[in-house]
Structure 1
Amino acid sequence: MRSEQVVGATSIALAASLLTQNAVLICAGAPGFGDPIEDVLAFHADNRGAVAIAVGSEALNLPLLLGLVTGLHGLVGRRGGLGADWSRLAVAAGAALSAIFALYSVLWIGVVLSAGDLAGPSPVLELAWQLHAAAFALALPALGTTFVGAALAAHASGLTAGWQRVLGLAGGGLLLAAGVAGLAIADGSALLFVGMPGYAAWLVWLLATGVRLLRARSAQAVTQRRVATPAA
């Protein structure tokens, strides 16, 4: 399997994992960060399995994310290095994002374990939930930086179309803007939803980039076979 195919498959796999993770939580009726702590307690006490799936998904998301940004950096290097600075930014931001999501998952595990032994909300549970929300808020600008860097690097090296660069700048910008309100988001502010279109744009970019890389390699292979086969 060629490098383009590996990176393309990784991009699609990451998008699929993130979509599955969010679908599980939506179907289970996961509370928002601004919901009453009583609802948070009730959800985590009754839906431990759904949270276990979501947290377990991070064990897959982290290597896929790191594999994507490092693989993209390698592709950029093999195409003459155009966009290399942006790809290095994506690698650094992706590493930071991975660390933040690891913390986010650990805090979420703490919320679940605390909720299982409580008959009612406690200050410890509320603090763990707020720290979990704060970690998610911090992940937004890290994801935005990763998105912008990856989108600009991929376009500069000719790996993606122009509209994907625009999508990266717009979506990454929204994620960065939402991240500025980290304190408010940790306190349950609806400003979180400023970043949600940016997160959706990230998923679209992952899928589009993955498909484009897979198709580009397939088209190149067909062209090579035609050149190698003499006309009858």
Structure 2
Amino acid sequence: MPRQPFAESSPGFSRVTGAAALGFAVAIVLANAVMVPAGLPLTGAEIGAVDTFFGTEGGAVAVASALTPAAWVLATLFGAGAVSALRRSERDRGEAWSLVGFTGLALQNVTFAGVVAIRLALSATTGDDGTTTGGLWALHDALFTLNGTFLALALLGLSVAGLRAGVIRTWHGTLGLVSAALLFVSATLTPLIIDHTGPLGLLGLAGWSMWVIWILAYGVTLIRLNPAR
């Protein structure tokens, strides 16, 4: 069992931000549950497949995109709750790992806003100009894969901070660090992943799956958190 953390967040705020973490995880899973069965092309897919998907599945793109603004708000609330629970303990040690994690969350929000904007643009313009579609899809793939860098930052910062403050369990922190490593390697290999469809893409998928589990566990932790008396 982790020791009681020297936290500074109120029980009410901690519960709200923990619930936000759960909501964020549900929102991103639902968005993928809409897009993937509809046939969302994989990274590096042929332009013909991209044209077909965005030309015929505009409804799925719209529904999934509608979930993302709420997801970004919830991610920000989660990050704020984690920082609030960890900062006093970190200041005692002269560290700022939780701020590294919050920065990663903020940057992934911005980057994925670009990904969603490109998907909406493709849905609105597919069939008008093949050159435009190819350029937009290449930019989409690059942003989507490079976003692993910011997910890795979030996982690294909040996992290290949580472990050192005794807020999260060892398995939870280890899961976060492994996920961070997989996502960072995937982001580093972005040129290869974009140019060659194959098993390299599984690195990012595995890291993303672990990231969702990590968020859910962090949300439960914040909901159950009792600030030190």
Same-fold call, TM > 0.5?
Answer: yes
1:90 to 2:101 alignment: yes
Matched, 1:141 2:149: yes
Aligned equivalent of 1:156, options 150, 164, 170:
164
8 Å Cα contact 1:134-1:186 kept in structure 2: yes
Contact 1:133 1:186 in 2 (8 A): yes
Pick aligned residue for 2:204 from 192, 195, 198: 195
Instruction: Note the 1:67-216 alignment, pairs <5 A.
Output: 67-79=77-89, 81=91, 84-115=95-126, 117-118=127-128, 122-190=130-198, 191-216=200-225
Between the two structures, name the one with larger relative contact order (CA 8 Å, sep ≥ 6).
2
- In the alignment, structure 1 segments of 5+ residues that lack a partner are 225-232
Q: Does structure 2 retain, via aligned residues, the 8 Å contact 1:82–1:153? A: no
Distance 1:65 1:35 in 2: 29
Amino acid at match of 1:102: A
Matched, 1:43 2:56: no
State the Cα distance separating 1:216 from its structure 2 match.
Answer: 4.0
Partners of 2:33 and 2:122 in 1: CA distance: 20
RMSD: 2.1
Residue 57, structure 1, aligned to residue 72, structure 2: no
TM-score, length-scaled by structure 1: 0.85
The Cα of 1:78 is off from its aligned counterpart by: 4.4
- Asked which structure has the greater CA Rg, the reply is 1
The Cα of 1:128 is off from its aligned counterpart by 0.6
Q: CA deviation at 1:82?
A: 6.2
Matched residue of 2:140: which SS?
helix
User: What is the TM-score normalised by the length of structure 2?
Assistant: 0.86
Percent identity of paired positions between Structure 1 and Structure 2: 26
Q: Which of 92-101 and 122-131 deviates more?
A: 92-101
| Superposed CA offset, 1:107-130 (max 9, x none) | 222211111x44xx7111111111
The 5 Å alignment of 1:207-226 reads: 207-217=216-226
Distance in 2 (CA, whole Å) between partners of 1:182 and 1:140 is 10
Q: Check conservation: 2:45, 2:197, Cα contact below 8 A.
A: no
* Alpha-carbon distance change, 5 to 78 in structure 1, aligned in 2, over 3 angstroms: farther
- Distance of 1:37 and 1:123 partners within structure 2: 10
What SS class does the counterpart of residue 166 from structure 2 fall into? coil
